[in-house]
Amino acid sequence: MNNNSKQYKSIGEVAKILNLFDKKTGKPSTHTIRFWEKEFKQIKPYIFSGKRRYYDSGSIQIIKKIQYLLKNKGMTIKGVKKQLNEHHSQLDEVNNKTIKTKIKKLSQIIKGIKKYG
């Protein structure tokens, strides 16, 4: 299996993707990601045997966004939390509308089946 087909990445791999390295040792700086996990509820690593953290592509995208907003845009943690929460609530609203539409369509299909079945 090549690296592109892996479903999950370890915390060290995510640190490398984000270019987070300890300046003294040159090793991946995983403590930053663990700190962000505590601060941002949107980061949800999978913890498998041995208490090792693994991240899916969705979590990695959220971490990248957090890093961009903190480091490149100069936002505070509070500001990033607010922006992520607003974005999350907008997505929930879209998902709820989509779910309601699908339920409505399924109800119509079921009524049609009952009518002709």
pLDDT in tens, 46-102: 988 778 889 999 999 999 999 999 999 999 999 999 888 886 544 455 556 667 677
pTM higher than the cut 0.85: no
**Domains of the chain listed by start with CATH number:** 3-116 (1.10.1660.10)
Q: How far apart are CA 79 and CA 68, in angstroms?
A: 13
Q: How far apart are CA 104 and CA 83, in angstroms?
A: 32
pLDDT above 80 for 2 = no
At 21, give phi and psi (nearest 5°).
-130, 145
Neighbours of 25 (CB within 10 A): 8
